[in-house]
Amino acid sequence: MSTTADELREEVRRRYAESARAVTEGSDGCGCGSGSCCDGESDSEMFGEALYEAEQRGELPDAAVLASLGCGNPTAVADLHEGETVLDLGSGGGIDVILSARRVGATGTAYGLDMTDEMLALAQHNAADAGVTNVHFLKGIIEQIPLPANTVDVVISNCVINLSTDKPAVLTEIARVLKPGGRIGVSDVVAEDRLSADERAARGSFVGCIAGALSKGEYIAGLEAAGFEDISVEFTHEVADGMHGAIVKARKTETPEAKGRPMIQPAATTGCC
């Protein structure tokens, strides 16, 4: 029997709730305390805290570092500036929100969006420990971002978009909340174009950030359809055969209508994160 979108989303929520509890309780449930839970079968150097420079890890509470479950370091590529508003999709324990808040300074704002109560509580605690006050954590799913249109300068995300079961809705929502000319700097798992969906699924689980990954060509096409330009998808390290951690960058067009490509309207969805 096939798994529904709601069942997949609940599986992801449960997995990351367990991760947050493992960090809070000081245990190492499902490998998450070591920061390698995005794919429990992968080497910790492919996922989690090892992908952040020691200097960055030194800026953060220990619990935030332990709760890092991503496949990259989006703050290293987002080129954040003083006074900007940044949104982290699937913010987890808050590591990228805290780093972003420090980059944008007191005149800027960093939002974190997550669907898991346990992760939101951990992130709030970590932000308080880090002494950052220009942060706001929101509960919701990334297919329905609870922010007004045209209000965000930069959207970042760390190994979360691959967990959505409605990726066109995610990309459309990112475009909606970004200001014209706004940009994305995303770390994600991306497949080589040669791999079919079945071949991706054979290389790892959905909650392990493998089976649900887009191919490079699919990512580029999806961003173009949502109204982005200057798109790049750059592989950084292999996490499975034909599957890579990748840096995804793009810019929302200033006037999408001018290219004869109206913005896609947000779709109703039962997405994953």
pLDDT at residue 50 tops 80 = no
For the chain, give the percent of residues with pLDDT over 70.
Answer: 68
| Domain boundaries, given as residue ranges, for the chain | 5-259
Fold classification of 5-259 is Rossmann fold (3.40.50)
For residue 261, the model assigns a pLDDT of: 40
State yes or no: pLDDT of 113 exceeds 80: yes
pLDDT in tens, 59-77: 544 444 444 445 567 777 7
Task: Give pLDDT, residue 29.
Answer: 41
Look at residue 211 in the predicted model and tell me its pLDDT. Answer: 73
Please determine, for residue 175, whether its predicted confidence score (pLDDT) is greater than 60. Answer: yes
Give me 171's structure tokens.
């990309």
Mean per-residue pLDDT for 23-40? 44
Confidence of residue 273 (pLDDT cuts 50, 70, 90): very low
- Pick 76 or 270 by higher pLDDT: 76
Q: pLDDT tens digits, residue range 214-246?
A: 999 999 999 999 999 999 999 988 989 999 999
Closest CA to 167 of 112, 100, 220, 229: 220
Lowest model confidence (mean pLDDT) among 55-59, 106-110, 199-203: 55-59
Mean pLDDT of the chain: 78
Q: Answer yes or no: is pLDDT of 51 > 90.
A: no
The CA-CA-CA angle for residues 183, 189, 190, to 5°, reads 85
Find all residues with CB under 8 Å of 63, minimum gap 6, and list them.
Answer: 23, 24, 93, 122, 125, 126, 129
Backbone φ and ψ for 229, nearest 5 degrees, come out as -135, 180
Mean pLDDT of 74-101: 90
Q: Is pTM beyond 0.85 here? A: no
- Residue of 44, 60, 39, 57 lying closest to 188 (CA atoms): 39
pLDDT exceeds cutoff 50 at 110 = yes
Q: What is the pLDDT of residue 189?
A: 92
Instruction: Report the 3 state secondary structure along the chain.
Output: CCCCHHHHHHHHHHHHHHHHHHHHHCCCHHHHHHCCHHHCCCCCCCCHHHHCCHHHHCCCCHHHHHCCCCCCCHHHCCCCCCCCEEEEECCCCCHHHHHHHHHHCCCCEEEEEECCHHHHHHHHHHHHHHCCCCEEEEECCCCCCCCCCCCEEEEEEECCHHHCCCHHHHHHHHHHHEEEEEEEEEEEEEECCCCCHHHHHCCCCCCCCCCCCCEHHHHHHHHHHHCEEEEEEEEEEEEECCEEEEEEEEEECCCHHHHCCCCCCCCCCCCCC
Residue 104 vs residue 209, higher pLDDT: 104
Q: Kindly report the number of other CB atoms within 10 A of residue 128's CB atom.
A: 13
Residue 33 has pLDDT above 50, yes or no: no
Residue 158: pLDDT over 80: yes
- Does the pLDDT of residue 169 top 80, yes or no? yes
Per residue in 114-151, pLDDT tens?
A: 999 998 999 999 899 999 999 999 999 999 999 999 99
Q: Which residues pair with 248 in a beta bridge?
A: 186, 233
What would the two tokens of residue 50 be?
Answer: 């090892």
